[in-house]
Amino acid sequence: MRKMVKNKAEQHGLYFGFILILILLSVLFLTAGCRRPDGGAGVTQETEDWKWEFRIQILCPWGEGGGADTTLQAFRTAFMEVNQVPVEIVRKSGSGGIAGTQYAMTYPADGYFYLLGTQSLLLQQVTGETDYDVYGTIQPLCRLVHDCNIFVVRADSAYKSYEDIRRAAEKRPGELTCGMMTLMGVDNACLEEAFGDLIQPRQYQDGASMLEEILAGGMDLAICGPSEFSEALQNGQLRILFSCTEEPIRIRGYEEEIPSAGELGLSCFYGPGRGIFYEKGTPEGAIRAFEEAAEKAVQSDYFQAFLREQSLDLRPGWLCREDYRKAWEEEYLAFTELFGGDRDG
């Protein structure tokens, strides 16, 4: 009888011990699942340890040959080399980048699809060129480069300075033309700030056709990044009127002194800040993983050499997600104040 009682007691003890172990394991599992790298809560362990199992796709919403396209190609190469993750560039241009942006947001927010963007997308919303809610839809993840714009003319142009072309435009308002990659972005903002409505903007779908047109004498000046027409600048086919920067800049391979907008008393300092964006709903782990991988790519020897070769190191470029979000908000407010008028958006 005593032996039977003892056996039953041991069985109960084993039973309750087993239940206690299950409870402890459950608690450990739940707390591990809610732990974040920063000590907070809300991210699962699976999300923290995000690994890409398939290729990443990044959409470029502008045509080939421009600064956005060349920057993304260099970033793709650096990203794959440093992180051993395949990346595919998807291209869909139109409507100054808005068509591609809307198309990008139709992809699943699964951590495998991202968008290359600039402030031009914001500016279109602010000026009412599009009803698409750019600011409320795409989410800044990291900025790769901060380019600067330059105004260029053909080397044998009669316009030797900003003052020359300004006087000519005042005498013949609306007759002079300026080429650019988009009529609804920071290029046109620079033109308006520098010349008002005196010079007619003309849009080109790619950098090659714009270069061909200005060299043929089909337009009076063009606005671009230093990298877009670098060869024509270095071989003396084009001349820089001035840079859209606060201070003078030096461009490798171009020996002439370059006046700056700041020196001329102008405030057209806009330059494309090319960065990566994601869609709401993208897993937090994927966002964090991409940010970390992108920073490694940008800091790589390959990408840094690309920046130097393309004169994209004239301004600090890289911004992490937190800093890029702040800059994006500040630019939205600045554009709204300068160009929004009484428009909504």
CB 195 within 8 A of CB 171: no
For 256-282, write each residue's pLDDT tens digit. 999 999 999 999 998 989 999 999 999
Q: Of 64, 160, 183, nearest to 192 (Cα)?
A: 183
Q: Is 311 helix (H, G, I), strand (E, B) or coil?
A: coil
Mean pLDDT over the full length of the chain: 85
pLDDT confidence band for 48 (50 / 70 / 90): low
Q: Report which DSSP code applies to 336.
A: I
Region of 173 please: left (phi>0), alpha (psi -120 to 50) or beta.
beta
pLDDT confidence band for 177 (50 / 70 / 90): very high
What's the pLDDT score for residue 7?
A: 47
Most confident of 73-87, 181-195, 196-210: 73-87
The mean pLDDT value for 5-34 works out to 43
Q: Report which DSSP code applies to 248.
A: -
- Report CA-CA distances (Å) from 29 to 21, 22, 96, 237: 12, 10, 49, 67
Rounded distance between C-alpha atoms, residue 182 and residue 121, angstroms:
10
The mean pLDDT value for 189-202 works out to 94
Decide which of 87 and 23 is more confident.
87
Domains of the chain: 53-147+272-340 (3.40.190.150), 157-243 (3.40.190.10)
- Helix 301-309 to helix 284-299 angle (10° resolution) is 60
pLDDT confidence band for 185 (50 / 70 / 90): confident
pLDDT confidence band for 183 (50 / 70 / 90): confident
CA-based torsion, 102, 103, 109, 111: positive or negative? negative
pLDDT confidence band for 45 (50 / 70 / 90): very low
For residue 11, report the phi and psi dihedrals to the nearest 5 degrees: -65, -45
pLDDT confidence band for 39 (50 / 70 / 90): very low
The mean pLDDT value for 283-310 works out to 96
For 217-255, write each residue's pLDDT tens digit. 999 999 998 878 889 999 999 999 999 999 999 998 899
> Which pair of tokens denotes residue 273?
């800040």
Beta-sheet strand order (sheet of 87-91): 87-91, 56-60, 113-117, 273-279, 138-146
Residue type, 48: E
Query: What distance separates the 2 farthest-apart alpha carbons in the chain?
Result: 118
Rounded distance between C-alpha atoms, residue 260 and residue 245, angstroms:
6
For 59-106, write each residue's pLDDT tens digit. 999 888 778 899 999 999 999 999 999 999 999 988 889 999 999 999
Is pLDDT above 60 for 175?
Answer: yes
Rounded distance between C-alpha atoms, residue 57 and residue 34, angstroms:
29
Percent of the chain scoring above 70 in pLDDT: 84
DSSP one-letter string for 143-184: EEEE---EEEEETT-S--SHHHHHHHHHHSTTTSEEEES-TT
Q: What angle do CA 60, 65, 71 make, to 5 degrees?
A: 55
206-235 exposure pattern, b = at least 16 Cβ within 10 A, e = fewer: bbeebbebbbeeebbbbbbbbbbbbebbee
What's the pLDDT score for residue 121?
A: 93
pTM of whole model > 0.85?
A: no
Is pLDDT above 80 for 117?
Answer: yes
pLDDT confidence band for 24 (50 / 70 / 90): very low
Rounded distance between C-alpha atoms, residue 233 and residue 210, angstroms:
14
What's the pLDDT score for residue 181?
A: 82
Contacts of 170 by beta carbon, 8 Å cutoff, 6+ apart: 198
Is pLDDT above 70 for 316?
Answer: yes
Q: Is 14 helix (H, G, I), strand (E, B) or coil?
A: helix
What's the pLDDT score for residue 334?
A: 85
Work out the number of other CB atoms within 10 angstroms of the CB of residue 304.
Answer: 14
Rounded distance between C-alpha atoms, residue 124 and residue 99, angstroms:
12
For residues 101, 325, 65 and 192, what is the CA-based torsion angle, rounded to 10 degrees?
90
Is pLDDT above 60 for 17?
Answer: no
What's the pLDDT score for residue 243?
A: 96
> Which pair of tokens denotes residue 128?
């009412």
